Amino acid sequence: MQELQYPFDSRYIIKKKKSIKRQLLEQGGSFLDKKIAVLGGSTTHDVCAIMELFLLDMGIRPQFYECEYAQYWEDVMFDNPELVSFKPDIIYIHTSNRNIRNYPDMSMGSDEVDALLDADYDHYFKMWGKIENTYHCAVIQNNFEYPFYRLLGNADATDIHGRVSYINRLNERFAAYAREHKDFFIQDINYLSASYGLDKWSDPLYWHMYKYALSMEAIPTLAYNVSNIIKSIYGKNKKALALDLDNTLWGGIVGDDGVENLEIGPETSMGQVYSEFQGYIKQLKDIGVILNVCSKNEEENAIAGLNHPDGVLKPDDFILIKANWDPKSKNLADTAAELNLLPESFVFVDDNPAEREIVRTQLNVVSPEIGSVEDYIRVIDHSGFFEVTNFSADDKKRNEMYKENAKRAQLEASFENYGDYLVSLQMEGTIKGFEPIYMERIAQLSNKSNQFNLTTRRYTRAEIEEIAESDEYIDIYGKLEDKFGDNGVVSVVIGHKNGDILDMDLWIMSCRVLKRDMEFAMMDELVREAKKAGIKRIKGYYYPTPKNKMVKDFYALMGFELVNEDEDGNRIWEFEVTDDYEDRNHYINVNGRKGEA
């Protein structure tokens, strides 16, 4: 919903929250259901109410647990039975500087201030440890906003007695904890409140009147920000950018003005601001955002513009460059299809409001109101499309991988026989039980895969680790390399044992290795493991979502028989494990065993 996209009108959202919620639910669609415990040190009613709007808009339907007023610590430490039985997927600890129990006073020596800091930190440290042991769920913790006044003026930041100094030190301890703990995320309200305006954020009226730690108008900013963390944890980040060129990546129109007259580079202030924007886009590439061009231009002119000597972005930084006169909605849909991504994984960036509107309405793709060129970075950044929660080696290499895929597509076109092409790829697979170095990636894949996903079940890293340790499961990951490069971990299969039956909980594969025999190689290993465990029958489940139609008949392809289908399209399949099972994969050399080509 456009009203919930950054930059949003906070007061409109506050006033209309009931009708916005009604509209979001009426729109329907499929939601990911998540249980979120909000443990606050202040009133949290509207924080939840407004989080709900943003989360629904992001495809997540939250169910909330709210602690009694300011009982965040007691709820955790004394095992409030309501919280225990709620079984949260996420615990959001919304505390603020109003909850800091001790502040230094001017009479204290530095040892005393250090001891005070230890005590304040310990209060949280114990609680986080307790959560980790009891709930095994993701935790989002606010750090602290700055105080709204400074007793020592500017020295508040340097003098050990200053609250600014004290909060800085406490926040650094929180950050250090986050670096050491997976599934623990800091919501940086220190930055958020500064960006919003601390005086407006910390209006004392809201604390004294209503016991809100921030002003009502700031709540949508807080709620949007934490919703972005949550959607990122559940793999709902955007993955790619589709960028217009003229007056978006440079000033001027390359086809009319000529390359030499474009505004880009250090010569003019307009050139500088476009350079800064190109630099920002290039940084997004470094965190794994896939860059593409979607421009109404002659291709020749588009490439010439991107080769401008002062440009930061070069043609090589993009995976696909669509520069032609077709509607942008068509170009974007084609780009998505060629990359095996869903259109909704894209953010479309264009200076032209009419193009934005067409792409939004035709494809349901997000296209921010980016404003004037000097606003572009702020709008895209504050939108939180690419909020980083688990940054993996794969994210770092993603653009490279898509480049390799483009080369594979070229190679494929040069073979008449698809099998010959697969042979030429010289594929090496590693298919094994879960291993510690891949836990992060396995959890990430379970949260990101939507299309090739039979059950759409999501796992946290902690759950993946539990499964790996337990004897009750057969758990397998698959990694695929070929002559162009390493695709990394691309497939995960989890089944739980039920006597001599194996119930398949999860079967996922990254779409970038479709039609490479990888699914067959996974099946072969699954059967091998099942035999070892004395399994006689494997039961496969398919639960339809709007996105996973491609695997509706997947189990048939693997040799399963359909035993049941209900009116919602949920399917149950069965496979007899027999001694005469023959490997289905013919092209991937798995675990160093020579496959026959």
Q: Footprint of other proteins on residues 25-44 (CB under 8 A)?
A: 43
Which is it for the CA torsion 445, 451, 453, 456, positive or negative? positive
Query: Any contact of residue 14 with other proteins (CB under 8 A)?
Result: yes
Q: Could you say which of 45, 173, 282, 584 contacts other proteins (CB under 8 A)?
A: 45
Q: Could you say which of 85, 107, 111, 209 contacts other proteins (CB under 8 A)?
A: 209
Which CB, 19 or 107, lies closer to other proteins?
19
Q: Which stretch binds other proteins (CB under 8 A): 7-15, 327-335, 396-404, 437-445?
A: 7-15
Which burial class, exposed, middle or buried, applies to 412 when counting CB atoms under 10 A from its CB (0-12, 13-18, 19+)? middle
The site string for other proteins over 115-134 (x = CB under 8 A, - otherwise) reads --------------------
Which CB, 17 or 584, lies closer to other proteins?
17
Q: Footprint of other proteins on residues 143-202 (CB under 8 A)?
A: none
Query: Any contact of residue 205 with other proteins (CB under 8 A)?
Result: yes
Query: Any contact of residue 19 with other proteins (CB under 8 A)?
Result: yes
> Cα 300 to chain center, whole Å?
35
Shortest reach from residue 207's CB to other proteins, in Å: 11
Q: Could you say which of 3, 22, 498, 576 contacts other proteins (CB under 8 A)?
A: 22
CB 88 within 8 A of CB 65: yes
Helix (H) or strand (E) holding 496: strand 485-498
Shortest reach from residue 96's CB to other proteins, in Å: 17
Which residues are 139's β-sheet partners? 91, 184
Which CB, 57 or 482, lies closer to other proteins?
57
Shortest reach from residue 146's CB to other proteins, in Å: 22
Which CB, 208 or 593, lies closer to other proteins?
208
CA distances from 232 to 200, 226, 239 (A): 28, 10, 11
Shortest reach from residue 50's CB to other proteins, in Å: 10
Shortest reach from residue 384's CB to other proteins, in Å: 24
Q: Which stretch binds other proteins (CB under 8 A): 97-105, 203-211, 431-439, 537-545?
A: 203-211
- Residue 480's contacts (CB-CB under 8 Å, 6 or more residues apart) are 427, 428, 429, 430, 486, 487, 488, 490, 491, 513, 516, 518, 588
Which CB, 13 or 167, lies closer to other proteins?
13
Helix (H) or strand (E) holding 166: helix 163-180
Shortest reach from residue 359's CB to other proteins, in Å: 30
Q: Which stretch binds other proteins (CB under 8 A): 9-17, 171-179, 401-409, 415-423?
A: 9-17
213 vs 219: CA distance, rounded Å = 10
Which CB, 209 or 354, lies closer to other proteins?
209
Which of 588, 595, 437 lies closest to 513 in space, CA to CA? 588
Which CB, 13 or 332, lies closer to other proteins?
13
Shortest reach from residue 94's CB to other proteins, in Å: 16
463 vs 446: CA distance, rounded Å = 11
Shortest reach from residue 41's CB to other proteins, in Å: 17
Query: Any contact of residue 15 with other proteins (CB under 8 A)?
Result: yes
Tell me phi and psi for residue 154, to 5 degrees.
Answer: -60, -30
Tell me phi and psi for residue 503, to 5 degrees.
Answer: -95, 120
In terms of C-beta distances under 8 Å and separation of at least 24 residues, what long-range contacts does 325-333 make, across chains too? 325/296, 327/358, 327/362, 328/242, 328/244, 328/294, 328/296, 328/355, 328/358, 328/359, 329/358, 329/359, 329/362, 329/363, 331/242, 331/294, 332/242, 332/294, 332/359, 332/363, 332/365, 333/363
Which CB, 223 or 467, lies closer to other proteins?
223
In terms of C-beta distances under 8 Å and separation of at least 24 residues, what long-range contacts does 23-28 make, across chains too? 24/53, 24/56, 24/57, 25/56, 27/1
Shortest reach from residue 75's CB to other proteins, in Å: 20
Tell me phi and psi for residue 163, to 5 degrees.
Answer: -70, -35
Which CB, 207 or 554, lies closer to other proteins?
207
Shortest reach from residue 21's CB to other proteins, in Å: 9
Which CB, 221 or 367, lies closer to other proteins?
221
Which burial class, exposed, middle or buried, applies to 337 when counting CB atoms under 10 A from its CB (0-12, 13-18, 19+)? exposed
Which CB, 217 or 466, lies closer to other proteins?
217
Query: Any contact of residue 210 with other proteins (CB under 8 A)?
Result: yes
Considering CB under 8 A, how many residues would be counted as binding other proteins?
19
Q: Could you say which of 101, 208, 593, 594 contacts other proteins (CB under 8 A)?
A: 208
102 vs 520: CA distance, rounded Å = 61
CA distances from 424 to 129, 412, 415, 583 (A): 51, 9, 9, 20
Residue 217's CB is within 10 A of a number of other CB atoms, namely: 16
- Residue 221's contacts (CB-CB under 8 Å, 6 or more residues apart) are 10, 192, 196
Q: Footprint of other proteins on residues 212-241 (CB under 8 A)?
A: 212, 216-217
Q: Could you say which of 1, 3, 11, 353 contacts other proteins (CB under 8 A)?
A: 11
Q: Footprint of other proteins on residues 67-86 (CB under 8 A)?
A: none
Q: Could you say which of 16, 378, 397, 584 contacts other proteins (CB under 8 A)?
A: 16
Q: Which residues bind other proteins (CB under 8 A)?
A: 11, 14-19, 22, 43, 45-46, 205-206, 208-210, 212, 216-217
